[in-house]
Amino acid sequence: MDTKELLKKVRRIEIKTRRLSNHIFGGEYQSTFKGQGMTFSEIRQYQYGDDVRNIEWNVTARYNEPFIKIFEEERELTLLLMVDVSGSQFFGTDGSSKKDMITEIAATLAFSATQNNDKVGLLLFSDKIELFIPPKKGRPHVLRIIRDLLEFEPKGVQTDIRQAVRYIQNMMKKKAIIFILSDFIAENYENALKVLGNKHDVTGIRVYDRREMQMPNLGMVNMRDAETGEYMLVNTGSSHVRRNYAEYYRKGVDYYQTAFKRSQAGTLHCQVGESYVKTLLGYFRRR
C-alpha cells in the first residue's frame, strides 16, 4: 500500500469512527469505565448534607467552624487494544474481512478513550509479539495506531493468545481497560486470562464471518489453512465431515465464552458485514 492510499484509508476510518465515538460512544465509554480512585481537590466550608466523615479537623479547629475535604474521581484511564493479526483475520466473504472490522472497532474505542483524555496503547500479536505501542494520549497517537492496524505486516501467521496475555500482564503494571480483538480460533489461554482478569478490566471481542460457522456442501475441495499454510483435500459433500466441523466450531466458541466468564471478563460477538454499533452500545449499557 503506497503512502497516498494509506493516508486516504486512515482518513476514511478516522471520519467514520470519530463520528461514532463523538456522538454515540463517548458518553457510554465514560459512564462504563470509571476512574481508579479519588484524589484530593480542595477544602471548603461545611454545607448541609455534606458527609461528616470528610471533615478536616485541623482547619475546623483553627477557624472554629466546620470545613470539609473535597475529593474528585481520578478520571484518567489507560485503554489497551490487543489485536490478533494472524492469518485467519484476512478471511471474509461479504466484501469485508475480519481484519477490516477489527480495525474499525479498535479505532472507535481508541477515539472514545481519547475524547475522555485517556491514554491508548496497542499490542499486535500472532503466534509472536509483533508490535507493542505504549499507551499515550492524543489524536496523532491514535492515527499512528490506525496506520499500524492497516499496514503492519506480521511475521507470524498462527495464533497464541496465551503468550500475548502473559506479555501484557508483565508490561502493564497499573490497572487498565483491555480489549482483546480476535476470532479466538485458539486454545489453552484460560489460565493466563484469569491472571490478567484479576488485575485489569478485560473484554473479549470475537469477530467472525458467517461462512465459518458451517461448512457448505461443495463436493471435493482443496482447502488451505490460513494459519498453517497446509493444503488438504476435503470432501465437503460428506454430512459426517460437515457435522464434525460444526462441532469443532461450536467447541471453540464455547471455550471462548467459558474462559472469559471464569476470568470475570466480558464478551462480545461481532459478525463481519453487520453493524457492530448496537453490539458495543448494548455491552456498555449492560455494564
> Where does the pLDDT of residue 8 fall: very low under 50, low under 70, confident under 90, or very high at 90 and above?
confident
Residue 224: CATH number of its domain: 3.40.50.410
> Where does the pLDDT of residue 23 fall: very low under 50, low under 70, confident under 90, or very high at 90 and above?
low
**89 and 161 co-located in one domain:** yes
**84 and 223 co-located in one domain:** yes
**210 and 238 co-located in one domain:** yes
φ, ψ for residue 46, nearest 5 deg: -65, 135
34-92 pLDDT per residue, tens: 655 555 667 888 888 788 888 999 988 988 999 888 765 555 789 999 999 999 998 88
How many residues are present in the chain? 287
205-217 pLDDT per residue, tens: 999 999 999 998 9
pLDDT of residue 74: 54
> Where does the pLDDT of residue 165 fall: very low under 50, low under 70, confident under 90, or very high at 90 and above?
very high
Domain assignment of residue 65, given as a range: 38-73
**163 and 219 co-located in one domain:** yes
What is the 3-state composition of the chain as percent helix, strand, coil, each rounded to the nearest 5? 45, 25, 30
Q: Which residues contact 245 (CB under 8 A, 6 or more apart)?
A: 214, 215
**Cβ atoms of residues 79 and 111 within 8 Å:** no
pLDDT of residue 285: 85
Of the three residues 73, 98, 125, the one that is the final residue of a domain is 73
Q: Is the pTM of this model over 0.85?
A: no
pLDDT of residue 51: 83
For 91, the 3-state DSSP assignment is coil
**Cβ atoms of residues 257 and 265 within 8 Å:** no
For residue 116, give the DSSP letter.
Answer: T
Q: Which residue's entry shows cell 483553627? A: 62
**43 and 172 co-located in one domain:** no
**16 and 82 co-located in one domain:** yes
**21 and 67 co-located in one domain:** no
What distance, in Å, lies between the first and last C-alpha atoms of the chain? 39
**194 and 64 co-located in one domain:** no
76-133 pLDDT per residue, tens: 789 999 999 999 998 888 778 999 999 999 999 999 888 888 999 999 999 999 999 9
**42 and 138 co-located in one domain:** no
| Closest-CA residue to 204 (of 77, 83, 113) | 83
**275 and 228 co-located in one domain:** yes
Report the percentage of the chain scoring pLDDT > 70: 92
Tally of structural domains, the chain: 2
**156 and 105 co-located in one domain:** yes
Of the three residues 73, 95, 125, the one that is the final residue of a domain is 73
Helices marked H in the chain: 3-20, 26-32, 57-63, 98-115, 139-151, 161-171, 190-199, 239-262, 277-286
**167 and 50 co-located in one domain:** no
